[in-house]
Amino acid sequence: MAALRTDSGWRPAAGARFFCTAGRGLEPFLMREVRARLAATQVEYISGKVFFTTCSDLNMLKKLKSAERLFLLIKKQFPLNVSSVSKGKIFNEMQRLVNDDPESWLSAISIWKNLLELDAKEDKLSQRDANPLKRKVEENDIINPKKLKTKQMQELQESRECQLEKQTDEATVEQGDFLTNREKSQEAFQNDAVKAVAAPNQKDLTFRVSCRCSGFVAKTFTAQEVGRVIGIALMKQFGWKADLRNPNLEIFIHLNDIYSVVGIPVFRVPLASRAYIKTAGLRSTIAWAMASLAEIKAGAFVLDPMCGLGTILLEAAKEWPDVYYVGADVSDSQLLGACDNLKAAGLQDKIELLKVSVIELPLPSESVDIIISDIPFGKKFKLGKDIKNILQEMERVLCVGGTIVLLLSEDHHRRLQDCERGGIPWNSKGSHTDEPGIEKCLNPGEKTDLSDTVSSSAETSGQGDLDKMPPFGSLVPVDRYRVSLGRTGAFICRYRKSPSSAASRLAAVSRFQSSQGSCTALKAVVSGSR
Amino acid sequence: MKLLTHNLLSSHVRGVGPRGFPLRLQATEVRINPVEFNPDFVARMIPKVEWAALLEAADTLHLVEVPKGPIEGYEHDEKFLRQMHHVLLEVRTGPSLASLAGHSRRLPVLSSIPSPFPAGGCAGGHLAVPRVWTSVPHQSRDPQHVAE
């Protein structure tokens, strides 16, 4: 197989095809990321997965930030026809997934081995003997097809992801040493590699099939049945042995109404589970997506005035290091947790933490370039008045032309929309729909959601009201994205501070000043602005 | 906290004007924390620096070799950048800040560097919340008030 052997890692010269799972709503971010980070081509988003082709090596693939899991694609084709009466016929169709084109399986496996082998060579030099640790990772990692229930893929993955993250956290707490966490992920990566190397000959491969069914397929079959059929077909076709506990190779199959997809997970640990984050608050993929929306440039002053455990700042500082980051919170326990996180990630020099309140920021006006924040959800956080105060203070400290990116619960978002009545209407196109593929591929359900909210705001904001001041002075909404947080949904909203209202506010200030009798002050304010 | 942070903070008092009052340092703890030198980053921070406040802070902390202001072509002057790097990013004051002029506004601050001193910091001990505040009238940085 034609390949480029470079120092960084093996890369498929002609490009290999992958797919990623992503949290609902993060797909546009992922599509943008694979293009930017991996120079990906043939990028498609179909029903919860983003498919793409890239020549990148394992190290670059590891860096994906808005994806849940990454798979090497073996096969993607039309959904199984389950309208046939005979179950046997459908089983035959499933077997054909394996038997029709065994070459595609073998070449995918060859790419997989190449991707991971080089890693094994590098890491062997620094390999630490930690067998008990290794076993612990694997034991908890088993996806036993027998246990699989037929659920929506998203939910199952999320709970698995959470489980894995919890395992990682627990192990870390037990070990009492952050380094173990990072090494554990490295161990996991090494595990993949060691297993790949350990199977010198494809005949000796051991495998395990993990299967998800949704839609009509799920009504007819259980995941176990499908897994069994595929497993037997693989054994017959390639002579591999099944190993549920500790296989070399994992095969992932997803059958639904839209496609049948088969792939090989590239990493044991989901990409969403970061080695450098000790205790995650907000989901790391969403935190990164928010930071990516903020257009952070070198030398910027970035503030998170309700930073909690600091997840957003950690993600941002890892990606955009030459930036001045400040996090603030009123909770001692959260700040201590954030402090731990910073130390564990080695970022304590990059991020400053302050115990101050978001409604009383000790910052001069217009001194912050970017604000990114996860507005706390929950009953203890009063809606309405608080949100307004918070936004007003954020607006005060933000530079003209600066960007604010907020994560808002559905309640907060609705409240803000009511406030925006009479303000500048949402641009109903929004910048995230400039992907022509997205319009076609979005689930009908999701599309209705977005257009529902867009049309309701269009209704409430009167057409003739453009002269009215938006409620937050100069904050102009730019775009927003609905994302899933597991059980609930939320909105990532981006605002920009426009200069246009600055003039009208200066006018208001001057009126105040002249009523106070100091006209010279106005000239000073106008000319003295930084 | 870093001196850069102290420099960028100010006590915002409504109605007083956009710049507010600079925070006077009542430093009880000072330490130097080595940080990797990144000339680009330092150069980008220079325009944000409030020099009067910086020089006063440096004075309070008895720092030496502090540039008095940005020099011509500072972006390429390694000596200048290294000095500024040291002052802004490596000098840390403990978690105590005095608040301001005429308004005794408390401003407890948590430093992100674990304090080797017995009280406070992130070492898992309790936070040091300063109990003594000076309310010495202080020159505001707002140009409006210079005339007065």
B114 in a domain, yes or no?
no
Q: Determine the residue among A355, A398, A527 to mutate to test chain B binding: the one whose Cβ has the most chain B Cβ atoms within 10 Å.
A: A355
The ipTM of this complex is 0.72
Across the A:B interface, residue pairs with CB atoms under 8 Å apart total 101
Instruction: Please state the rounded mean pLDDT for residues B125-134.
Output: 30
CB A313 within 8 A of CB A327: yes
Contact indicator for B33, A287 with CB cutoff of 8 Å: no
CB B38 within 8 A of CB B30: no
How many domains does chain B fold into? 1
Element (H, E) at B147: none
Confidence grade of residue B20 (pLDDT, cut at 50, 70, 90):
low
What are the residue ranges of helices labelled H in A270-367? 284-293, 311-319, 332-345
- In this complex, the residue of A299, A326, A356 whose CB is nearest that of residue B41 is A299
Q: What residues have CB less than 8 Å from A88, skipping those under 6 apart? A: none
Q: What is the Cα–Cα distance from A519 to A295, expressed in whole angstroms?
A: 39
pLDDT given for residue A382 in this prediction: 58
Nearest to B41 among A322, A351, A367 (CB): A322
pLDDT of the residue at A292 = 97
In a domain, B48, yes or no: yes
Note the pLDDT of residue A191.
58
A16 near B CB under 8 A: no
Measured between alpha carbons, how far is residue A136 from residues A173, A185, A189, A196 in Å?
Answer: 14, 12, 14, 20
Instruction: Identify which has the larger pLDDT, B14 or A136.
Output: B14
State how far residue A295 is from chain B, nearest Cα, in angstroms. Answer: 17
Each as own residue / partner, the long-range contacts of residues A135-138 (CB below 8 Å, 24 or more positions apart, any chain) are: A136/A171, A137/A167, A137/A184, A137/A187, A137/A188, A137/A191, A137/A268, A138/A191, A138/A245, A138/A246
Q: What whole-number distance in Å separates Cα of residue A276 and Cα of residue A343?
A: 10
Chain B contact present for A354, CB below 8 A? yes
Give, for A477, the enclosing helix (H) or strand (E).
Answer: strand A475-484
Per-residue pLDDT at A262: 96
Residue whose structure tokens are 């205790």 = A279
CB contact under 8 A, B124 and A366: no
Measured CA distances, A45 to A3, A33, A97, B16, B52 (Å): 27, 13, 22, 53, 54
Which amino acid does the sequence have at A385? K
CA distance B64 to chain A (A): 22
Closest by Cα among A282, A209, A281 to A249 = A209
The one-character DSSP state at A276 is T
Is B76 domain-assigned? yes
Q: What is the CATH number of the domain that holds B89?
A: 2.20.25.10
Structure tokens at A370: 């970017």
Q: Note whether A336 contacts B122, CB cutoff 8 Å.
A: yes
* 3-state SS record for A205-227: CEEEEEEEECCHHHHHCCHHHHH
Residue B113 makes CB contacts below 8 A (sequence gap 6+) with A348, B31, B33, B92, B121, B122
Q: How far is B141 from chain A (nearest CA, A)?
A: 10
Type and span of the H or E element at A50? strand A49-54
Tell me the chain A residues in contact with residue B8 when contact means C-beta distances shorter than 8 Å.
Answer: 301, 326, 363-364, 367
Residue B14's domain comprises 3-103
User: Does some domain include residue B144?
Assistant: no
Beta strands at A301-304 and A260-265: parallel, antiparallel or unpaired: unpaired
Write out pLDDT tens, residues B62-77.
888 899 999 889 989 9
For residues A37-62, one letter each, b for 16 or more C-beta atoms within 10 angstroms of the residue's C-beta and e for the rest, the string is: bbebeebebbbbbbbbbbbbbbebbb
Q: B59 to chain A nearest CA, in Å? A: 22
For residues B143 and A68, give the distance between their C-alpha atoms in angstroms, rounded to a whole number.
Answer: 51
Contact A361, A327 (CB under 8 A): no
Which helix (H) or strand (E) is A351 found in, with range?
strand A351-355
Angle at A265 between CA A263 and CA A268, to 5 degrees: 165
User: Please, which residues 259-298 of chain A have a Cβ atom closer than 8 Å to chain B?
Assistant: 298
Alpha-carbon distances, residue A93 vs A97, A154, A269, A505 (angstroms): 7, 25, 32, 69
SS3 label, residue B14:
coil
Provide the pLDDT for residue A511.
56
Query: Looking at residue A129, what is its pLDDT?
Result: 44
Cα angle at A129 between A123 and A134, to 5 degrees?
A: 85
pLDDT, one tens digit for every residue, chain A (530 residues): 455 555 567 888 888 999 999 999 999 999 999 999 999 999 999 988 999 999 999 999 999 999 999 999 999 999 888 776 688 888 888 999 999 999 999 999 999 999 887 445 545 555 544 444 444 444 444 444 444 444 444 444 444 444 444 444 433 333 434 444 455 555 555 555 555 555 445 567 899 999 999 988 888 889 999 999 999 999 999 999 999 998 989 999 999 999 999 999 999 899 999 999 999 889 999 999 999 999 999 999 999 999 999 999 999 999 999 999 999 988 888 999 999 999 999 998 899 998 888 888 888 889 999 999 999 876 555 555 678 888 999 999 999 999 999 999 888 888 777 766 644 433 333 334 333 333 333 333 333 333 333 333 333 333 333 333 344 678 999 999 999 998 889 999 999 999 865 555 565 565 566 655 544 544 445 544 44
Q: What angle do CA A461, A465, A471 make, to 5 degrees?
A: 70
Tell me what pLDDT residue A212 has. 92
A367 touches B at CB < 8 Å: yes
pLDDT greater at residue A204 or residue B36:
B36
Residue B132 lies in a domain: no
Nearest of A206, A187, A191 to residue A248 by alpha carbon: A206
Domain assignment present for B15:
yes
Q: Is B78 within the bounds of a domain?
A: yes
Nearest to A520 among B40, B122, B147 (CB): B147
Using only the alpha carbons of chain A, give its radius of gyration.
26
Q: How far apart are CA A54 and CA A42, in angstroms?
A: 9
Closest CA to A303 of B87, B113, B22, B9: B9
* Alpha carbon distances (Å) from A402 to A372, A413, A456: 11, 21, 27
Angle at CA of residue B26, ends B56 and A333, nearest 5°: 125
